[in-house]
Amino acid sequence: MRRSPWIGVVLRAWAVLLVVLPGHSPAGETSPLPTEKFTYTTALEISQKAIGNRLGDYSLIDSNGQPFRLSQLRGKPMVLSLIYTSCYQICPMTTRHLAEVVEKARAALGRDSFSVVAIGFDADVDTPAAMRHFARQQGIEDAGWKLLSIDKNDVAPLTQDVGLVYYPSARGFDHIIQTTVVDAQGKVYRQVYGQVFDTPLLIEPLKELVLGTPQPSDTFVSSMINKIRFFCTTYDPVRDGYYFDYSLFVGMFIGATIIAFIIGWMIKEIRYRRSNPGVTGKS
Protein backbone atom coordinates (compact mmCIF):
# COMPACT_ATOMS: atom_id res chain seq x y z
CA MET A 1 0.00 0.00 0.00
CA ARG A 2 1.40 3.39 -0.98
CA ARG A 3 1.46 6.12 1.62
CA SER A 4 -0.70 9.15 0.91
CA PRO A 5 1.53 12.04 -0.30
CA TRP A 6 0.20 14.51 2.26
CA ILE A 7 1.18 12.19 5.11
CA GLY A 8 4.79 12.21 3.91
CA VAL A 9 4.75 15.99 3.66
CA VAL A 10 3.42 16.36 7.19
CA LEU A 11 5.94 13.88 8.60
CA ARG A 12 8.89 15.56 6.93
CA ALA A 13 7.74 19.04 7.89
CA TRP A 14 7.32 17.93 11.48
CA ALA A 15 10.57 15.98 11.71
CA VAL A 16 12.98 18.06 9.70
CA LEU A 17 13.16 20.93 12.15
CA LEU A 18 13.61 21.22 15.87
CA VAL A 19 12.01 18.52 17.97
CA VAL A 20 11.73 18.14 21.70
CA LEU A 21 13.27 14.88 22.73
CA PRO A 22 12.24 13.70 26.20
CA GLY A 23 14.94 12.08 28.25
CA HIS A 24 17.83 12.73 30.55
CA SER A 25 18.94 16.31 31.15
CA PRO A 26 22.48 16.27 32.55
CA ALA A 27 23.20 18.69 35.33
CA GLY A 28 25.80 21.38 34.83
CA GLU A 29 26.03 21.01 31.05
CA THR A 30 25.99 24.22 29.07
CA SER A 31 24.28 24.79 25.76
CA PRO A 32 26.41 25.29 22.64
CA LEU A 33 23.80 27.83 21.53
CA PRO A 34 21.90 29.92 24.12
CA THR A 35 18.25 28.93 24.29
CA GLU A 36 16.99 32.43 23.60
CA LYS A 37 19.00 32.50 20.36
CA PHE A 38 17.93 29.06 19.18
CA THR A 39 15.72 29.16 16.09
CA TYR A 40 14.86 26.65 13.40
CA THR A 41 16.54 28.82 10.78
CA THR A 42 19.72 29.20 12.82
CA ALA A 43 19.92 25.45 13.45
CA LEU A 44 19.59 24.66 9.75
CA GLU A 45 22.09 27.34 8.77
CA ILE A 46 24.70 26.00 11.19
CA SER A 47 24.05 22.46 9.98
CA GLN A 48 24.49 23.44 6.33
CA LYS A 49 27.61 25.48 7.03
CA ALA A 50 29.23 22.35 8.46
CA ILE A 51 29.35 20.81 4.98
CA GLY A 52 33.02 20.61 4.07
CA ASN A 53 34.19 20.40 7.70
CA ARG A 54 36.74 17.70 8.44
CA LEU A 55 35.86 15.62 11.49
CA GLY A 56 38.45 15.58 14.25
CA ASP A 57 40.14 12.30 15.10
CA TYR A 58 38.32 11.83 18.37
CA SER A 59 39.19 9.13 20.87
CA LEU A 60 36.09 6.99 21.40
CA ILE A 61 35.08 3.73 23.04
CA ASP A 62 33.09 1.10 21.17
CA SER A 63 30.18 -0.84 22.63
CA ASN A 64 32.54 -3.63 23.71
CA GLY A 65 34.60 -1.21 25.77
CA GLN A 66 37.52 -1.10 23.33
CA PRO A 67 39.31 2.14 22.35
CA PHE A 68 38.40 3.43 18.92
CA ARG A 69 39.35 6.44 16.80
CA LEU A 70 37.37 8.02 13.98
CA SER A 71 40.43 7.82 11.74
CA GLN A 72 39.96 4.03 11.67
CA LEU A 73 36.94 4.62 9.44
CA ARG A 74 38.75 6.74 6.87
CA GLY A 75 39.02 5.36 3.37
CA LYS A 76 35.33 4.93 2.64
CA PRO A 77 32.16 7.00 3.18
CA MET A 78 30.42 7.04 6.53
CA VAL A 79 26.85 7.56 7.68
CA LEU A 80 26.94 9.28 11.07
CA SER A 81 24.06 9.67 13.51
CA LEU A 82 24.38 11.45 16.86
CA ILE A 83 21.90 10.11 19.41
CA TYR A 84 21.40 9.91 23.15
CA THR A 85 20.24 6.66 24.66
CA SER A 86 17.82 8.05 27.26
CA CYS A 87 15.63 9.39 24.47
CA TYR A 88 12.75 6.94 24.44
CA GLN A 89 10.83 7.96 21.32
CA ILE A 90 12.40 10.09 18.58
CA CYS A 91 15.96 8.70 18.58
CA PRO A 92 14.75 5.07 18.47
CA MET A 93 12.27 5.80 15.66
CA THR A 94 14.88 7.74 13.71
CA THR A 95 17.44 4.96 14.17
CA ARG A 96 15.03 2.26 13.01
CA HIS A 97 14.12 4.22 9.90
CA LEU A 98 17.79 4.93 9.21
CA ALA A 99 18.54 1.21 9.57
CA GLU A 100 15.93 0.39 6.91
CA VAL A 101 17.40 2.88 4.44
CA VAL A 102 20.95 1.72 5.22
CA GLU A 103 20.01 -1.84 4.26
CA LYS A 104 18.63 -0.57 0.94
CA ALA A 105 21.85 1.36 0.37
CA ARG A 106 23.95 -1.72 1.11
CA ALA A 107 21.88 -3.80 -1.30
CA ALA A 108 22.47 -1.24 -4.05
CA LEU A 109 26.06 -0.21 -3.37
CA GLY A 110 27.64 -3.13 -1.54
CA ARG A 111 27.49 -4.14 2.09
CA ASP A 112 31.02 -2.97 2.89
CA SER A 113 31.02 0.10 0.65
CA PHE A 114 30.42 2.51 3.56
CA SER A 115 30.42 2.58 7.37
CA VAL A 116 27.51 3.32 9.70
CA VAL A 117 28.22 4.98 13.04
CA ALA A 118 26.08 6.12 15.96
CA ILE A 119 27.73 8.24 18.66
CA GLY A 120 26.05 9.03 21.97
CA PHE A 121 26.52 12.72 22.74
CA ASP A 122 25.19 12.53 26.32
CA ALA A 123 28.62 11.47 27.54
CA ASP A 124 27.73 10.82 31.19
CA VAL A 125 24.89 8.47 30.26
CA ASP A 126 25.84 7.02 26.88
CA THR A 127 28.35 4.49 28.17
CA PRO A 128 29.40 1.44 26.12
CA ALA A 129 26.84 -0.64 28.03
CA ALA A 130 24.10 1.91 27.31
CA MET A 131 25.03 2.01 23.63
CA ARG A 132 25.04 -1.79 23.50
CA HIS A 133 21.58 -1.88 25.08
CA PHE A 134 20.35 0.78 22.64
CA ALA A 135 21.63 -1.30 19.72
CA ARG A 136 19.76 -4.37 20.97
CA GLN A 137 16.55 -2.39 21.41
CA GLN A 138 16.70 -0.99 17.87
CA GLY A 139 17.70 -4.26 16.23
CA ILE A 140 21.07 -3.00 14.97
CA GLU A 141 23.34 -5.01 17.26
CA ASP A 142 24.39 -7.36 14.45
CA ALA A 143 23.82 -4.95 11.58
CA GLY A 144 27.42 -3.84 11.13
CA TRP A 145 26.99 -0.54 12.96
CA LYS A 146 29.62 1.08 15.15
CA LEU A 147 28.05 2.23 18.44
CA LEU A 148 30.49 4.61 20.10
CA SER A 149 30.81 6.57 23.34
CA ILE A 150 32.70 9.86 23.51
CA ASP A 151 34.49 11.80 26.24
CA LYS A 152 32.45 14.74 27.54
CA ASN A 153 35.23 17.17 26.61
CA ASP A 154 34.95 16.13 22.96
CA VAL A 155 31.17 16.46 22.65
CA ALA A 156 31.20 20.18 21.81
CA PRO A 157 33.98 19.92 19.17
CA LEU A 158 32.29 16.92 17.53
CA THR A 159 28.86 18.55 17.37
CA GLN A 160 30.47 21.68 15.94
CA ASP A 161 32.23 19.58 13.30
CA VAL A 162 28.95 18.05 12.13
CA GLY A 163 26.86 21.18 12.67
CA LEU A 164 24.50 19.69 15.25
CA VAL A 165 22.85 22.38 17.35
CA TYR A 166 21.35 21.18 20.63
CA TYR A 167 20.71 22.34 24.16
CA PRO A 168 19.60 20.61 27.37
CA SER A 169 16.09 21.34 28.53
CA ALA A 170 13.78 20.16 31.30
CA ARG A 171 12.42 17.59 28.86
CA GLY A 172 15.79 16.29 27.70
CA PHE A 173 17.69 17.62 24.71
CA ASP A 174 16.22 19.84 22.04
CA HIS A 175 18.02 19.41 18.74
CA ILE A 176 17.55 19.16 15.04
CA ILE A 177 17.23 15.63 13.67
CA GLN A 178 19.99 15.04 11.16
CA THR A 179 22.01 12.23 9.65
CA THR A 180 25.42 13.25 8.34
CA VAL A 181 27.08 11.72 5.29
CA VAL A 182 30.88 11.90 5.53
CA ASP A 183 33.25 11.25 2.62
CA ALA A 184 36.25 8.91 2.60
CA GLN A 185 38.56 11.71 3.73
CA GLY A 186 36.45 12.46 6.81
CA LYS A 187 34.73 15.60 5.48
CA VAL A 188 31.04 16.37 5.91
CA TYR A 189 29.48 15.80 2.48
CA ARG A 190 25.72 16.01 2.97
CA GLN A 191 23.10 16.47 5.69
CA VAL A 192 19.87 14.48 5.71
CA TYR A 193 17.09 15.84 7.89
CA GLY A 194 14.08 14.30 9.54
CA GLN A 195 12.92 11.36 11.58
CA VAL A 196 11.45 9.88 8.39
CA PHE A 197 13.10 10.89 5.12
CA ASP A 198 12.82 9.77 1.52
CA THR A 199 15.18 6.93 0.62
CA PRO A 200 17.08 8.79 -2.17
CA LEU A 201 18.03 11.62 0.21
CA LEU A 202 20.56 9.28 1.84
CA ILE A 203 21.38 6.85 -0.95
CA GLU A 204 22.04 9.40 -3.71
CA PRO A 205 24.94 11.12 -1.88
CA LEU A 206 26.29 7.70 -0.89
CA LYS A 207 26.06 6.60 -4.53
CA GLU A 208 28.00 9.70 -5.57
CA LEU A 209 30.73 8.92 -3.05
CA VAL A 210 30.91 5.15 -3.57
CA LEU A 211 30.50 4.94 -7.36
CA GLY A 212 30.91 8.45 -8.72
CA THR A 213 34.07 9.57 -6.95
CA PRO A 214 37.39 8.12 -8.23
CA GLN A 215 39.64 6.64 -5.56
CA PRO A 216 43.47 6.40 -5.68
CA SER A 217 43.27 2.61 -5.47
CA ASP A 218 40.91 2.30 -8.47
CA THR A 219 42.21 0.53 -11.55
CA PHE A 220 40.99 1.39 -15.05
CA VAL A 221 38.66 -1.62 -15.06
CA SER A 222 37.22 -0.97 -11.59
CA SER A 223 36.77 2.70 -12.46
CA MET A 224 34.80 1.81 -15.60
CA ILE A 225 32.68 -0.70 -13.69
CA ASN A 226 31.87 1.92 -11.05
CA LYS A 227 30.88 4.42 -13.74
CA ILE A 228 28.54 1.89 -15.32
CA ARG A 229 27.03 1.06 -11.92
CA PHE A 230 26.68 4.76 -11.13
CA PHE A 231 24.62 5.48 -14.25
CA CYS A 232 22.64 2.24 -14.16
CA THR A 233 21.75 2.08 -10.44
CA THR A 234 18.28 3.60 -10.45
CA TYR A 235 15.65 4.39 -7.84
CA ASP A 236 12.26 2.70 -8.15
CA PRO A 237 9.62 4.74 -6.24
CA VAL A 238 7.11 1.89 -6.39
CA ARG A 239 9.39 -0.51 -4.51
CA ASP A 240 11.15 2.33 -2.67
CA GLY A 241 14.46 0.74 -3.52
CA TYR A 242 17.30 0.75 -6.03
CA TYR A 243 17.92 -1.68 -8.88
CA PHE A 244 20.37 -2.12 -11.74
CA ASP A 245 18.70 -0.84 -14.90
CA TYR A 246 19.70 -2.99 -17.90
CA SER A 247 17.73 -0.84 -20.35
CA LEU A 248 20.82 1.31 -20.93
CA PHE A 249 22.70 -1.73 -22.24
CA VAL A 250 19.74 -2.77 -24.38
CA GLY A 251 19.62 0.72 -25.89
CA MET A 252 23.38 0.71 -26.45
CA PHE A 253 23.17 -2.72 -28.13
CA ILE A 254 20.35 -1.63 -30.43
CA GLY A 255 22.17 1.60 -31.27
CA ALA A 256 25.44 -0.23 -31.94
CA THR A 257 23.61 -2.75 -34.14
CA ILE A 258 22.03 0.00 -36.23
CA ILE A 259 25.34 1.84 -36.59
CA ALA A 260 27.13 -1.39 -37.55
CA PHE A 261 24.44 -2.13 -40.17
CA ILE A 262 24.76 1.36 -41.68
CA ILE A 263 28.57 1.17 -41.76
CA GLY A 264 28.42 -2.30 -43.33
CA TRP A 265 25.98 -1.11 -45.98
CA MET A 266 28.14 1.93 -46.78
CA ILE A 267 31.30 -0.19 -47.13
CA LYS A 268 29.48 -2.63 -49.39
CA GLU A 269 28.11 0.22 -51.51
CA ILE A 270 31.55 1.85 -51.86
CA ARG A 271 33.13 -1.45 -52.93
CA TYR A 272 30.39 -2.03 -55.47
CA ARG A 273 30.86 1.40 -57.03
CA ARG A 274 34.63 0.94 -57.21
CA SER A 275 34.23 -2.37 -58.99
CA ASN A 276 31.56 -0.93 -61.33
CA PRO A 277 32.72 2.52 -62.49
CA GLY A 278 29.99 4.76 -63.89
CA VAL A 279 27.24 2.86 -62.09
CA THR A 280 25.32 5.03 -59.63
CA GLY A 281 23.80 2.20 -57.72
CA LYS A 282 22.74 -1.40 -57.79
CA SER A 283 19.89 -2.27 -60.12
Residue pLDDT, tens place only, 214-251 = 665 666 556 666 666 666 677 788 888 887 766 666 66
- Is the model's pLDDT at 259 over the cut of 80? yes
Amino acid at 216: P
Share of the chain above pLDDT 90, in %: 50
In Å, how far are 82, 225, 250 from 221, measured between CA atoms? 37, 6, 21
For the residues 45-65, what does the mean pLDDT come to? 95
Name the region of 163 (left: φ>0; alpha: ψ -120 to 50; beta: rest).
Answer: left
Single out the residue of 147, 186, 204, 172 nearest to residue 50, CA to CA: 186
Q: Give the pTM.
A: 0.73
Tell me which CATH homologous superfamily contains domain 5-244. Glutaredoxin (3.40.30.10)
Strand order in the sheet with 18-22: 18-22, 172-176, 166-169
Q: Kindly compute the dihedral angle of the four CA atoms of residues 168, 173, 174, 180, in this order, to the nearest 10 degrees.
A: 120
Neighbouring-strand partners of residue 60: 68, 150
Phi, psi of 234 (to 5 degrees): -125, 145
Amino acid at 67: P
